[in-house]
Chain A
């Protein structure tokens, strides 16, 4: 887009998008969202929350019932995918099985009439970016899952779109490979400066990679913010529960959020200072997690309980049914608006 007016427009802007399938219940109930250029933006939520549908609306694979989609300031709501400056990395990678990796990556350039020499050069470069330049003449069926995922990334990058959509691209990989690819994806995004819109249901993945995150629940966005904002100042109980592990206590004034790592365990006769609060009870469950130990403390009547995450060194000597006092500073208790 060379249009002067669109130069400073956001990469993606969604206004009041709604969508329902057939006679089922609505999937999206009014999505408003602005994604800035160069952002690594994540749409996070449980399955069925509408995040993938939103991604498909941006890509042009679905039409909304109402609302508009703008890319770089231009309205594209009714444009088909092949007329949008967007490339997608599909969940199942969608590599063409009858083509070599090189041809897979060069497909978009071939469609747009880029001449053969340039096509080959750019495809080779893109494959090199994901460390697969040596096997460009292989077919997708000869690759491992991790390699296929890299080819799909190269195929999206090579067209130099203004925006790349990624639909749970790491879902099929094992944990170790996932971690590696998270770092790699983030690195490539920074290097290229392309806006990434990333869909995942994995909150840890979202927190570690994203500039900003939108939390989806049942067709609406619960909150948009940086990872820190979402973690430290969740807008709702849903966000608090979905991001990180949390204790939600019912105090007289309403719900308060307490992160397990903000709770420490003291002896039963510990005296609270004026800026501290606490809960006396018995140790219920102890799980050793390596650097930290997770421990649930419940009142003797079992009515209230909190889960604490304490450094394992300090958890030595804890035993089930031991009487303790869970203590936290009042500052770390975050009131949730209902």
Chain B
């Protein structure tokens, strides 16, 4: 096989994999513009009418609000917890960091079902009713991991001499942290927050176990599909979720890339 043939085969294989991954998503996105209420290929006429209909749906709007609130609150909480965890652990021995990181990253490393069940039993045992509060706490666990990892990666590349230099010039450890460490971490904190927000916004499994009567957008989709109703609206909602999730991920990666160049 010649070089160009091999190249062609490689491109072919890569395209096939990408198509396999992205085609289903593409189909849902296209069907969001289908005027018909039953999904049949080929699409007869395109329209935005389901976008209007979905926006008018009270259930969908309240689910969107819940999702935004949960993702927003969990991300804020996690940004503080994740950053503090990383900064605190950075001073420890590499062995301690390894052990600490292992336990911290469990909520993401374990299957969502396990985290969900564990959270559910925990809240039940403490007789905490399932509300927005439990949902936010549950989401904060895995959001913290994302921010912790992001911040830790940056911290490890920050020379210790920077903080020593700050103290050398009269700054207390706290002042040094506020004026040197924190500004240098801000890029990785923000990019971690964007990723955490995206992660929380489309989370289904942990939410199922901890939401009680609250319905997030992904939970609404899940319910709608199971009942086989509102299929055109589901397509529109998926379109919205993809948009809301992709944006922060792309932004976050850009930020992380520029932060690592500094």
Contact = CB atoms under 8 A, between A and B. Distances in A.
Nearest to A155: B169
A111 B177 CA distance: 13
Nearest to A56: B164
A238 B184 CA distance: 45
Nearest to B180: A96
B168 interface: yes
Contacts of B38: none
A81 B168 contact: yes
A108 B162 contact: no
Contacts of A155: 169
Interface stretch (A84-92, A277-285, A324-332): A84-92
A282 B161 CA distance: 54
B172 interface: yes
B166 A97 contact: no
Helix, strand, loop or mixed for chain A's interface? loop
A61 interface: yes
Given A97-B262, A98-B262, A111-B169, A81 B180 contact: no
A141 B261 CA distance: 10
A116 to B, nearest CB: 16
Contacts of B172: 82
Nearest to A91: B161
Interface in B148-194: 159, 161-162, 164-172, 175, 179-180, 183-184
A325 B233 CA distance: 104
A59 B168 contact: yes
B169 A87 contact: yes
Interface residues of A, number: 24
A224 B133 CA distance: 68
Given A82-B170, A112-B170, A141-B262, A94 B164 contact: yes
Contact of A92 (B159, B166, B179, B180): B159
B168 A86 contact: yes
A146 interface: no
A91 to B, nearest CB: 8
Contacts of B169: 82, 87, 107-108, 111, 155, 159
B167 A82 contact: yes
Closest 7 CB pairs of A and B: A108-B169, A94-B161, A94-B165, A81-B167, A111-B170, A82-B167, A90-B161
